[in-house]
Amino acid sequence: MWLYAVAVLLGLFLLRRWHRERQTVPRLSEKHVLVTGCDSGFGNLLARQLDARGLRVLAACLTEAGAAQLRAATSSRLQTVLLDVTSSKSIAHVTAWVRERVGDQGLWGLVNNAGIAIPTAPNEWLTKEDFVKVLDVNLVGLVEVTLSLLPLVRRARGRVVNVASVMGRVSFFGGGYCLSKYGVEAFSDSLRLEMRNFGVKVCVVEPGYFKTMITNTENLEKNFHSSWQKLPEEIKASYGEGYLRQFVAMLKLMEKSYNSNLSLVTNCMEHALTSLHPRTRYSAGWDAKLLYLPISYLPSALTDALFASFYPKAVG
């Protein structure tokens, strides 16, 4: 009997959530959304997706070539601007540019999507500068962009959507990427609490492994070999050439599980921007939902044993 009652309650809960999440923000065609990292990948697809839905998209690209390609593929509503999230001057310029366009209405949505993964390698193979390069884009840049534009988002009682990763829940490779995504999670959690009384909602999107420039196998392989070549002979001897070969082989094996349907991620971003009742967190992709999310709740001893079974073996 109690199992039946639990099933009924669960069904009612899911039905209520489905109904709430279908409710859409009114007058979307009047709302401005700034998306960073629009040259390619998730940001590029999201900009085109939101433009097709009628929103006023402000697409921030790193290169003029990326901006031109995006403008050619979208309506005249979409506007582009160049943004380097590691440059305070560039961020200040874009903030002023956005303020001119949104006016007293404010900025409805900010999507912090810009990110990089390279340099990445076993931690001992990297330098402080390697870590800083990734953190400056993925975390420090995200924080500065958010703080600079937050008054405009607060004026609109809008949304901040931060792109983290499943690697912000579990960390099994070295470099600044996982560190930065854990940081995005923490920043988003504190910001969400602070913005609650202002009517601003802060959402986190946690994609699994998707086929983007960040996961490009050729670039990652070159990065591994480059890091290896710079190592002192003592460290090379400790790991052995076999470790490098196994690491590259593991990367190519993981490539087979990459998901090429980027809309699974951009649909989450769009929902976070357009639903009256967005979720706090979105897990995008089957691996995020069924593998990494459950693993993140396991004891560390179990997750260590699981990941170690796939890890390359050093000479010692």
The tokens of 5 are what?
Answer: 């009652």
Model's pTM, two decimal places?
A: 0.91
Confidence bin at 7 (pLDDT 50/70/90):
low
Q: Which of 4, 177, 209, 292 is catalytic?
A: 177
All residues at 6 or more sequence positions from 142 whose CB lies less than 8 Å from its CB, including other chains: 85, 112, 114, 162, 184, 187
Q: How far apart are the first and last CA of the chain?
A: 58
Tokens for 303?
Answer: 């997750």
Average pLDDT of the chain is: 92
Residue range 231-256: mean pLDDT, rounded: 86
Has residue 215 got a pLDDT over 70? yes
| Plot region of 87 (φ>0 → left; ψ -120 to 50 → alpha; else → beta) | beta
Q: Show Cβ contacts of residue 275 under 8 Å, excluding neighbours closer than 6 positions.
A: 21, 22, 23, 24, 25
Tell me if residue 215 falls in helix, strand or coil: coil
| Boundaries of every domain in the chain | 27-215+259-307, 216-257
When pLDDT is cut at 50, 70 and 90, the band that residue 267 belongs to is: very high
Query: What is the pLDDT, as a whole number, of residue 18?
Result: 66
| Sequence-ordered list of residues with C-beta below 8 angstroms from that of 266, at least 6 positions apart, any chain | 42, 45, 46, 49
Between strands 56-61 and 79-82, the pairing is parallel
69: CB partners within 8 A, 6+ apart: none
Whether 288 and 208 have beta carbons less than 8 Å apart is answered as yes
What is the pLDDT at residue 24?
82
Could you tell me where the beta strands, DSSP code E, fall in the chain?
A: 32-35, 56-61, 79-82, 109-112, 159-163, 201-207, 281-284
- Under the banding of pLDDT at 50, 70 and 90, the label for residue 216 is confident
For 182-194, write each residue's pLDDT tens digit: 999 999 999 999 9
Q: Active-site residue 177, yes or no?
A: yes
Which is the CATH superfamily of the domain at 27-215+259-307? NAD(P)-binding Rossmann-like Domain (3.40.50.720)
Radius of gyration of the chain (CA): 21
